[in-house]
Each structure stands twice: as C-alpha cells, then as structure tokens.
C-alpha cells in the first residue's frame, strides 16, 4: 500500500491535553485494548526513568501519553511480545523507529506470526541517553529541587509554532512551567548536545517504514490546513499498511481529520527525512559531565549564542515555517 497522510486530532480535549500532538496514540491504544489486545509503550517509573511497560487496562493509558526525551529501557519487552504473538494475542508496540525496526526484525527472524502485531513509530528527532537525564535530575536536586513529576510537552502555553512548555512538579508541591527553550535540559536537547551517537546518522528516516503507522506533530499545519489548528495539538499520521489502515479506521469517529500532502508536511518537519545535525561540542559536554561538573552549568555555557548568531537565527526563523522539535 502507498503511504497515506492525514492531519488529525482527537475530539476529546481533556485526553488530548496529556498527549504531545493530536492525542491519536491514546485513541489507538484504547481501540486495541477494547478489542482484547495489550499495548507496550513508554512510561516514567518512580525514579522518573523511562521504560516500556505493558498496558492492559484503559485507565493505565494516560501513564504512557506524551513524549519523553530520554531513551526508554526495553528490558524484556520483546520477549514478552513474541510470547503473546505465539498465543495469538493482539499486541500494539509503540516506540522509536529504531526500536520498532528491532522488534520487526526479531519477529521475522523467529518466524513469529505478525498478523496480530501492530507497530507504531513516530517522527524522531533523536533521544538523549540516560547519562544526560540523570545529570539534569542531579543538578536539580543539588539546587534543593527534587522533581516528583514531569511533563516535557506541557500545552498550557499552547502548541502552535512549537510554543509548548516544560512542566515540573517538585516533591515540595511547587510547580514550574517554563517555555521550552528556557529549560536547560530541553535547551541542550534542541542544540543536539547529547543525543545518542546513532541519532546523528539514523538509518530509519524517510516515508517508507517497516511499521503500520507513523505519528508526528504536524508542524506547519497552521499554514497548510489552518482549520485543523486550534493551538491544542495536531498530529501528522502516516498510514503505511492495510493493517494500519484498519486500525486507524477504528478511531475515525473520535477525531477531526483532513487529508494531508506528504511533501508539504516533510518540508515543515525535517526529522521525517533527515538525521539531526551533530553538535561539535557533544564530546566536551560528556567529558565535563563525567568529571562531575554540574549539568546545568555545562549546558548554559555550551549553548550560549553570540548576538550575531541570535540575530541570524531570528531572521532564518522568520523566513521559515516555525515549528518545534517534538
């Protein structure tokens, strides 16, 4: 099947507010669970580390919503999926394109029946490993702020033009909502300072994928399809297979939807087709972090831009369609 592209968002505003884009993932997850299947998706654990978990009940879906900019630990996820597929149980796996490719190749190599497996990846900017994330958490605790819960894609400040925020709730109950470019962790991630090495030459780009569906933020929808932008998050959905289309059709009563033009969508979201640019200061970042220097101090120093580069960046931004990494 030729990949089909859609702009869409969930009609459930409350649920969409917990998701990074249009809230399409929770609708699909619910559809799979309603039909007797299970979902494997990324959640925070008690230490705010990210790991894939099995989701068997609707009320657990919320724990897996939202982008987490940390590599998710898969642990025994693939083994558990293979065993369910051999028992003809339906399974939905959601992960980075490289995690999905790993699962699909294992399923093929082990000659496991794929008919009951749905695989969803997302447009991927890249993920930082756990070392950077632990460095950030440590810096916060040295300031006397232990993070109790986090939303790296808070939409209380909006979504259009990438205007989302970073929200932290501390263990003393205080809450901070910071524009994404002002939070040190996000600042370093946006500068590509500490993504995993493979993310700078990623083999899983492009429109042709081994997955059933690809989800992304529809950056630029405000120009392409303004009626599909209400500042609460719009998804770009790429459906690659008949199996993916059947799954997607199961949720169309719950979404607002419009056909999208893939070429235009790619223009506003380079991460669909291209790897993220390597930051020459990456080595220095890890050297200093490994020597025990404070994460926030290092990021502040290495992401400082001169006045000339700031002006240059502002001019480029005003010429291009604005967006945010997701």
Closer to ligand SF4 by Cβ: residue 84 or 125: 125
8 A C-beta contact, residue 38 and residue 117: no
From 38-46, 76-84, 120-128, 131-139, give the range in contact with ligand SF4 by CB under 6 A. 120-128
Q: Residues 106, 125, 190, 221: what is their CA dihedral angle, to the nearest 10 degrees?
A: -150
DSSP state of 57: S
Q: Does 95 bind ligand FAD (CB under 6 A)?
A: yes
Q: Does 96 bind ligand FAD (CB under 6 A)?
A: yes
Q: Does 198 bind ligand SF4 (CB under 6 A)?
A: yes
DSSP state of 143: T
From 57-65, 108-116, 186-194, 198-206, give the range in contact with ligand SF4 by CB under 6 A. 198-206
Q: Say which entry of ligand FAD, ligand SF4, none residue 98 contacts (CB below 5 to 8 A, set by partner kind).
A: ligand SF4
User: Least Å distance between CB 93 and ligand FAD?
Assistant: 9
Q: Does 64 bind ligand FAD (CB under 6 A)?
A: yes
Which of 138, 196, 256, 267 binds ligand SF4 (CB under 6 A)? It is 196
Categorise residue 199: left if φ over 0, alpha if ψ from -120 to 50, beta otherwise.
alpha
C-alpha to C-alpha distance for 248 and 8, rounded to whole angstroms: 11
Cβ neighbourhood burial of 286 (10 Å; 0-12, 13-18, 19+): middle
* Residues 6+ positions from 145 with CB-CB distance below 8 Å: 168, 170
Which of 7, 17, 25, 257 binds ligand FAD (CB under 6 A)? It is 25
DSSP string for residues in 174-224: -EEEEEGGGSHHHHHHHTTSSB-GGGGG-S--SS--SSSEEEEE-TTHHHH
Residues that bind ligand FAD (CB under 6 A): 19-26, 41-42, 50, 64-70, 72, 94-96, 122-125, 127, 215-217, 233, 235, 269, 271, 325-326
Residues that bind ligand SF4 (CB under 6 A): 96-98, 124, 126-127, 196, 198-199, 202, 204
């Amino acid at each position: 099947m030729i990949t089909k592209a859609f702009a869409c968002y969930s009609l459930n505003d409350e649920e969409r507010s917990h998701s990074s884009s249009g809230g399409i993932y929770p609708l699909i997850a619910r559809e799979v669970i309603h039909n007797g299947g299970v979902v494997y998706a990324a959640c925070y654990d008690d230490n705010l580390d990210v790991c894939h978990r099995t989701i068997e009940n609707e009320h657990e879906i919320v724990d897996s919503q939202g982008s987490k900019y940390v590599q998710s630990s898969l642990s025994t996820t693939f083994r558990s999926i293979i065993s369910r597929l051999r028992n003809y149980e339906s399974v939905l796996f959601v992960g980075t394109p490289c995690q999905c490719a790993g699962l699909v190749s294992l399923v093929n190599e082990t000659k496991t029946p794929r008919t009951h497996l749905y695989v969803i990846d997302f447009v991927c900017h890249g993920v930082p490993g756990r070392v950077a994330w632990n460095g950030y958490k440590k810096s916060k605790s040295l300031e006397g702020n232990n993070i109790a819960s986090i939303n790296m894609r808070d939409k209380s400040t909006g979504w259009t033009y990438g205007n989302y925020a970073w929200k932290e709730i501390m263990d003393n109950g205080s809450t901070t909502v910071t524009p994404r470019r002002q939070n040190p962790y996000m600042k370093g991630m946006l500068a590509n300072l500490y993504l995993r090495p493979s993310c700078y030459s990623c083999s899983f780009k492009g429109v042709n994928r081994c997955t059933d569906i690809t989800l992304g933020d529809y950056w630029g929808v405000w120009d392409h399809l303004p009626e599909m932008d209400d500042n609460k998050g719009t998804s770009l959905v790429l459906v690659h297979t008949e199996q993916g289309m059947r799954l997607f059709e199961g949720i169309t009563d719950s979404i607002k939807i419009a056909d999208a033009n893939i070429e235009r969508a790619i223009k506003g979201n380079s991460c669909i087709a291209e790897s993220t640019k390597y930051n020459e200061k990456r080595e220095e970042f890890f050297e200093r972090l490994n020597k025990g220097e404070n994460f926030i101090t290092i990021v502040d120093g290495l992401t400082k831009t001169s006045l000339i580069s700031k002006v240059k960046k502002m001019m480029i931004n005003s010429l291009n369609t604005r967006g945010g990494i997701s």
